[in-house]
Amino acid sequence: MMCYYKQKGSEKMNRSALCIKMLQILNAHDFVTTRELAERLEVNPRNIAEYKKELETAGYVIESVKGRYGGYRLDEKALLPSVAFSPQEIGAIREAYAYLKSHSDFLLMPDFTSAFEKLEMALSDMNETSKTVYRNTDSGVSAYVEKMIHICEEAKKNCQAVSFEYRSLKADKFTEVELCPYEILNMKGEYYCLGYNRNKQSFRTYKFSTARMRHLKILEKKFTRDLDFHLNDYIGDKSIIKNDEIYVEFLITGPYAVLYSEREIGIASDKWLEEQHTLHVCATFEGKMSALQFLCSLGRNAKVIAPKEVQEEIQEEIRKMAQNYL
């Protein structure tokens, strides 16, 4: 009498492997009898029904044929792999792609893009764009901020307005805001919501922050998204606010000269080392504030050549700083 099975301990140890092997056999043949499966797997025929049950739990459709010569047939629609991505998994993949695109230092981006495009072809749900726009991001968020982001994402998805109290950096008190959320933005690790402010009748950007935003909630009011809306009309490449570009010529001296000769400055720049410790820079910034913040961060190691208005504003800033210490 032919022995169909191995020792019990060995069979139990390889149960997952046996299920996978049974799936491969069924996938390769139109119909396989129980006896044939038992012989191929070297197990007792009674085990085949158990493996079938486990495979069906995993999502495969296996047709049973009863009788003396009964056996099994794998539904031809259930080709490998048959287990679908969950909506959360698809969302995570989209977010990872958007996040990595914002990092110019990710050297494997061409390969990742190729793999992502193949997933897009296989899964229709992948054709949706990411719900979060990333620009030069680097840090995480608190649980409270994450909760606010999820609320706005839900409102955006359902085209519902939100309301919250907000206090800008220059304001002394909170004001009520009713907003139609269009985009969730991540700029250098900070999250923002760009939307249409119904009271101001214009698009505004609000930062998710425990200090600036409170009492966020979704309203019953619905809104229709403007088909002419384009994100790049409202934000810059390096700044959350789209500003008029400004061209600045300046020198960087000392140890910063070598450091910034290797780094990107502004949104575009030409630079060259004139001496060992002097870097000549001609850079374009998104807005005067962005230029002033960068130049002031260099302290005495920066000297503005042009334009004159930037020179004068830095001089005024130096006078104000001096008053705090003299």
pLDDT tens profile 163-183: 999 998 778 899 999 999 999
CA distance 52 to 68: 18
Asked if residues 216 and 174 have their Cβ atoms less than 8 Å apart, the reply is no
Each residue's pLDDT tens digit, 45-96: 889 989 998 888 887 888 888 776 678 888 765 555 445 677 777 778 877 8
Asked if residues 72 and 30 have their Cβ atoms less than 8 Å apart, the reply is no
Measured CA distances, 14 to 7, 8, 108, 183, 196 (Å): 11, 10, 37, 50, 59
Model pTM?
0.49
Measured CA distances, 90 to 93, 96, 124, 125, 250 (Å): 5, 10, 10, 7, 47
Domain ranges in the chain with CATH number 3.30.70: 245-323
CA distance 139 to 141: 7
Kindly state the DSSP code that residue 131 receives in the 8-state scheme: S
CA distance 181 to 222: 11
**pLDDT of amino acid 132:** 63
**pLDDT of amino acid 124:** 57
**pLDDT of amino acid 55:** 87
State the average pLDDT for the chain.
82
Each residue's pLDDT tens digit, 114-167: 888 777 776 655 555 555 655 555 556 788 888 999 999 999 989 999 999 999
Asked if residues 197 and 179 have their Cβ atoms less than 8 Å apart, the reply is yes
Each residue's pLDDT tens digit, 9-32: 444 448 888 998 898 888 888 889
CA distance 285 to 269: 9
**pLDDT of amino acid 239:** 64
**pLDDT of amino acid 70:** 72
Average pLDDT over residues 103-116: 79
Each residue's pLDDT tens digit, 185-217: 887 778 899 999 998 899 999 999 989 999 999
**pLDDT of amino acid 176:** 95
Q: Which CATH architecture has domain 245-323?
A: 2-Layer Sandwich (3.30)
Nearby residues of 100 by Cβ (< 8 Å), 6 or more positions away: 106, 109, 112
Dihedral angle, C-alpha 196, 199, 200, 203, nearest 10 ° = 0
Nearby residues of 252 by Cβ (< 8 Å), 6 or more positions away: 260, 278, 279, 281, 298, 301, 302
Distance, CA of 146 to chain centre:
14
Domain ranges in the chain with CATH number 1.10.10.10: 8-74
Choosing among 3.40.50.1000, 1.10.10.10, 3.30.43.10, 3.30.470.20, the CATH entry for 8-74 is 1.10.10.10
Asked if residues 23 and 55 have their Cβ atoms less than 8 Å apart, the reply is yes
CA distance 205 to 241: 8
**pLDDT of amino acid 95:** 78
User: What percent of the chain shows pLDDT beyond 90?
Assistant: 32
pLDDT category of residue 4 using cuts at 50, 70 and 90: very low
**pLDDT of amino acid 212:** 92
Measured CA distances, 173 to 41, 169, 202 (Å): 74, 10, 21
Each residue's pLDDT tens digit, 235-292: 776 666 666 789 999 999 988 998 998 888 988 889 999 877 899 999 998 888 889 9
